[in-house]
Homo-oligomer: A and B are copies of this chain.
Amino acid sequence: MGVGAPYGQPSRFESEVMRRDIDWLFPDERASVNFTPLQDLHGIVTPNGLHFARHHAGVPDINPDEHRLLIHGLVQRPLLFTMDELMRFPSVSRIHFIECSGNGTLEWTQAVMPTVQFTHGMIGCSEWTGVRLSTLLDEVGVDRQARWILAESADAAGLARSIPMAKALDDAMVVYAQNGERIRPEQGYPLRLLCPGFEGNANVKWLRRLEVGTRPWMTREETSRYTDLMPDGSARQFTFVNEAKSVITFPSGGQQLRERGSYEIRGLAWSGRGKVKRVDVSVDGGNNWETAKLQQPVLSKCLTSFRMTWTWQGEPLLLQSRVIDESGYVQPTIRQLRKVRGTRSTYHNNAIQTWKLDVEGKVSNVQI
Contacts and interface: CB of A to CB of B under 8 A. Distances in A.
Interface of A: 1-14, 17-21, 29-30, 32-34, 40-51, 53, 55, 58-65, 88-93, 126-129, 176-177, 179-182, 184-186, 189-190, 261-264, 266, 295, 297, 299, 305, 307, 309
Nearest to A12: B61
Nearest to A93: B43
A4 B189 CA distance: 13
A90 to B, nearest CB: 5
Nearest to A60: B1
Given A44-B127, A264-B88, A264-B89, A30 B4 contact: no
A364 B41 CA distance: 41
Contacts of A129: 42-43
A355 to B, nearest CB: 17
Given A2-B30, A3-B34, A45-B180, A8 B51 contact: yes
B2 A29 contact: yes
A224 B34 CA distance: 51
Contacts of A65: 13
B58 A180 contact: no
A18 B6 contact: yes
Nearest to A250: B87
A9 to B, nearest CB: 7
A184 B127 contact: no
A14 B182 contact: yes
Contact of A3 (B42, B48, B59, B299): B59
3 tightest A-B CB contacts, nearest first = A4-B53, A42-B177, A6-B18
Contact of A45 (B3, B58, B179, B185): B179
A1 B59 contact: yes
A297 B295 contact: no
15 contacts: A2-B32, A3-B32, A4-B55, A6-B18, A6-B19, A10-B48, A11-B190, A13-B189, A14-B181, A45-B45, A45-B126, A47-B179, A47-B181, A88-B261, A297-B297
Given A42-B180, A43-B179, A45-B126, 19 more contacts: A3-B30, A3-B34, A3-B55, A3-B58, A4-B19, A4-B184, A4-B186, A8-B53, A8-B184, A10-B185, A13-B62, A13-B64, A42-B129, A46-B180, A47-B48, A47-B179, A50-B180, A88-B262, A92-B295
Contact of A33 (B3, B53, B89, B179): B3
Contacts of A263: 88
B17 A182 contact: yes
Contacts of A88: 261-264
Residue among A10, A33, A297 with max Cβ neighbours from chain B (10 Å)? A10
Contacts of A186: 3-4, 8
Residue among A7, A263, A309 with max Cβ neighbours from chain B (10 Å)? A7
B93 A58 contact: no
B19 A91 contact: no
A308 to B, nearest CB: 9
Given A2-B58, A4-B53, A90-B307, A184 B44 contact: no
